[in-house]
Amino acid sequence: MIKNAIYNLFYFYELLIIVRIFMTWIPNINWEAQPTKTVRIITDAYLNIFRKFIPPIGGLDFSPIIALIVLQILQTVIVGIL
């Protein structure tokens, strides 16, 4: 039961990051309006860790890809331990 809850939390956070990636493709999005502000605040807390080490290259931010890979590895390790 706890294993499924933790798995679902990781999955939900991965979905939020994917939604955040798609939102960056909308040129006129208002990042201060709800619900975009909430998604931005929740995901940037994690993504900023990777943005410190992986700067945008040619205007493209690759940090979400690395962040998703690390999140999936953490999910596999933590759920595997439980």
Question: Per-residue pLDDT tens for 2-13?
Answer: 899 999 999 999
Q: Give residue 81's pLDDT.
A: 87
Q: What is the pTM of this model?
A: 0.86
Question: Is pLDDT at 42 greater than 90 in this prediction?
Answer: yes
| Bridge partner residues of 60 (DSSP) | 57
Token pair 């999140």: residue: 71
Question: Which residues neighbour 56 within 8 Å (Cβ) at sequence distance 6 or greater?
Answer: 62
Question: Which residues neighbour 71 within 8 Å (Cβ) at sequence distance 6 or greater?
Answer: 10, 13, 14, 17, 46
